[in-house]
Structure 1
Amino acid sequence: MLSNQVKTAALLGLLSGLLVLGSYALMGNEQGLIFGLILAAASSLSSWYFSDRAALMAYRARPMERQEDPELYDMVARLCDRAEIPMPKLFTVPTQTPNAFATGRDPNNAAVAVTQGLKKLLTPEELEGVLAHELTHVKNRDTLTQAVAGTIGGAITFVGRILTFGALYGPVTRDNRQGANPLGLLFLVVLAPLSAGLIQMAISRTREFAADIGSAEITQNPLALASALEKLEAMGKQIPMNGNPAFSPLLIVNPLNAKGLQALFRTHPPTEERIARLQEMAQQKQRTPVLA
């Protein structure tokens, strides 16, 4: 767990560094450095406050009260007790695509959303596995991590577009030459957004594997989540989920099927690899002797 946290912190630091370095390289002076620092801080702060509402709005999620689905509500409450975290707010997403996501800046301000299709597709044991996965994201504060990563990554692209346009009409380099530093332009327009995207993918993949492990520990049934992931992967390809692609890392599975070079930009690890790891956990659990 500690190594994952260190790795995630380092990746977030790289994202912020890309934003600061890109601004400095483009403007060619200390103003660019200061601008990048301010934008990185503002991006992190805004995502800390507004990420949960933005994600819920993107998928048109609506609040769910206990009387609407007492079985699901009580299931989440039991899993929260096992995970030792507060009960999150529950939401329903009006789509038949089976999926789920968690959002919120910390366990005390968290929300878990499930689609209508998810509840219809999965058995109670499989649904428990999925919900435990999302609650692990909440417990590990992955929801905030993904929100900050996505916001800073978007800011890098935004800076590239805005400053590139503005740099064409003003003296922004060290020697006050008309136009922008060409290396800075190349960095912000091409290399920085590409690097930011790869870093976001690395963060998402790291956190997904950790959440799968957390789900298996909470439910003591890794095969239930493995079975759920297999169903979700198959059905997600048949019924794509509409919504802002920027929030796709929050979903438990991404229905997009990427192969070859496109696999570099997957927001999730390959589902087959996740299932294989869960099956290995189940086999290890069977081989471990039970102490009286």
Structure 2
Amino acid sequence: MNQLKTVALLGMLSGLLVTMGYWLGGTTGAVIGLAMAAVSNLVSWYQSDKIALAAYSAQPLSQGEAPRLHQMVKQLCRRDNLPMPRLYVVPSEAANAFATGRDPQHAAIALTQGIINLLPPDELEGVIAHELSHIKNRDTLTQAVAATIAGAISFALQYSLWFGGNSRGRQQGGGNPLGLLLAIVVTPLAATVIQMAISRTREFAADASAAALTGNPRALAQALERLEQGTRGVPLEGNPCFEPLLIVQGGFTQNLANLFATHPSTEARIKKLLQLELELKS
């Protein structure tokens, strides 16, 4: 179901791009915007691990420094038939984690010192399984595609306004103010909302996959509750562009702000995990 939701949301983003091109006068600006956004995001995607790790000053974590942690990750990878990712530690007391890399063969998991200190082994295992699920499901690729389309919408809008305006309207002998207003205001806003919805959908999927991998949904639920409380007190400082990578997000919590949140509410995630626990016991 989550895969279908993701495909549907990506389709909606594509539809927004086509609609905006139609209202602004043909597809030239949209095509150029899509091409440039695709190239820039492709480069970004191939370097995503280096960029994200550098953004949080992550340092390699050797087996000698954390033998139990390496063993935990190896066992989970063996169970899920995944190659061993590189492990990094973020020198921060904030409790958080993220996975990055373009595919399972070029993946890395970064854990803050805070999350290593905070969580007991079973809960830390749940967090690592969550990040491995992102790697296995290639969520980095999904987010790159979403960012490409959203970026194309933004660029195509700027291109059309700078180099032609509403040419479709001029060719018909008059502009369409309502269509132009929708293109300028509503379309980029809708694209952002859909892009964030894709990110939230992938978080639910990673939680479910992690629960299946460990067989212990409650441990991940308890970890999320601890991380939510910890993030309120000590948020992880870094470029907000990388916040969709983190296992928990600070900031947005209620009502309209949820539309722009990169993560579902922790309460909703915990509820789903506890439902999964009941299903596993039945």
Return the alpha-carbon distance in structure 2 between the equivalents of residues 243 and 181 of structure 1.
42
Return the alpha-carbon distance in structure 2 between the equivalents of residues 183 and 62 of structure 1.
52
- Alignment partner of 1:199 is 2:197: no
- Quote the RMSD (CA, aligned, Å): 2.6
- Stretches of structure 2 that go unaligned for 5 or more consecutive residues are none
Return the alpha-carbon distance in structure 1 between the equivalents of residues 122 and 256 of structure 2.
36
Q: Is the 8 A contact 2:34 2:152 kept in 1?
A: no
How does 1:86-235 map onto structure 2 within 5 Å? Answer: 86-161=83-158, 163-164=160-161, 166-167=162-163, 173-174=167-168, 175=170, 182-183=177-178, 185-235=180-230
Deviation at 1:52, TM superposition (A): 2.5
Q: Is the 8 A contact 2:80 2:213 kept in 1?
A: yes
Equivalent of 1:74 in 71, 75, 78: 71
Return the alpha-carbon distance in structure 2 between the equivalents of residues 257 and 31 of structure 1.
37
Return the alpha-carbon distance in structure 1 between the equivalents of residues 97 and 229 of structure 2.
15
CA deviation profile, 1:229-264 (whole Å, cap 9, x unmatched) = 000000101112222222211111101142121122
Return the alpha-carbon distance in structure 1 between the equivalents of residues 122 and 153 of structure 2.
42
Q: 1:34 to 1:284 in 2, by over 3 A?
A: closer
Return the alpha-carbon distance in structure 2 between the equivalents of residues 273 and 65 of structure 1.
35
Deviation at 1:128, TM superposition (A): 0.2
Deviation at 1:161, TM superposition (A): 4.2
Letter in 2 for 1:22: M
Return the alpha-carbon distance in structure 2 between the equivalents of residues 97 and 82 of structure 1.
29
- Alignment partner of 1:46 is 2:43: yes
Q: Is the 8 A contact 2:86 2:108 kept in 1?
A: yes
CA deviation profile, 1:95-128 (whole Å, cap 9, x unmatched) = 1110111111211111111111110110011100
Letter in 1 for 2:9: L
Q: Equivalent residue of 1:242, what SS? A: coil
Q: Equivalent residue of 1:90, what SS? A: strand
Q: Which residue of 2 aligns with 1:12?
A: 10
Deviation at 1:210, TM superposition (A): 1.2
Deviation at 1:40, TM superposition (A): 4.9
Equivalent of 1:259 in 251, 254, 260: 254
Equivalent of 2:266 in 264, 271, 274: 271
- Stretches of structure 1 that go unaligned for 5 or more consecutive residues are none
Deviation at 1:58, TM superposition (A): 2.2
Of structures 1 and 2, the one scoring higher in RCO (CA 8 A, sep 6+) is 2
Q: 1:55 to 1:16 in 2, by over 3 A?
A: farther
Deviation at 1:157, TM superposition (A): 3.1
Deviation at 1:83, TM superposition (A): 1.1
CA deviation profile, 1:21-45 (whole Å, cap 9, x unmatched) = 434533x134224324423533553
CA deviation profile, 1:178-230 (whole Å, cap 9, x unmatched) = xx975564344321221111111221121111111111111111111011000
Deviation at 1:84, TM superposition (A): 1.0
Letter in 2 for 1:146: Q
- Give me the TM-score of the superposition, normalised by structure 1: 0.86
Q: 1:32 to 1:151 in 2, by over 3 A?
A: closer
Q: Equivalent residue of 2:237, what SS? A: coil
Q: 1:171 to 1:251 in 2, by over 3 A?
A: closer
Return the alpha-carbon distance in structure 2 between the equivalents of residues 148 and 115 of structure 1.
28
Aligned length: 281
Q: Equivalent residue of 2:236, what SS? A: coil
Q: Equivalent residue of 2:47, what SS? A: helix
Q: Is the 8 A contact 2:33 2:152 kept in 1?
A: no
Point out 4+ residue stretches in structure 1 off by more than 4 angstroms: 180-185
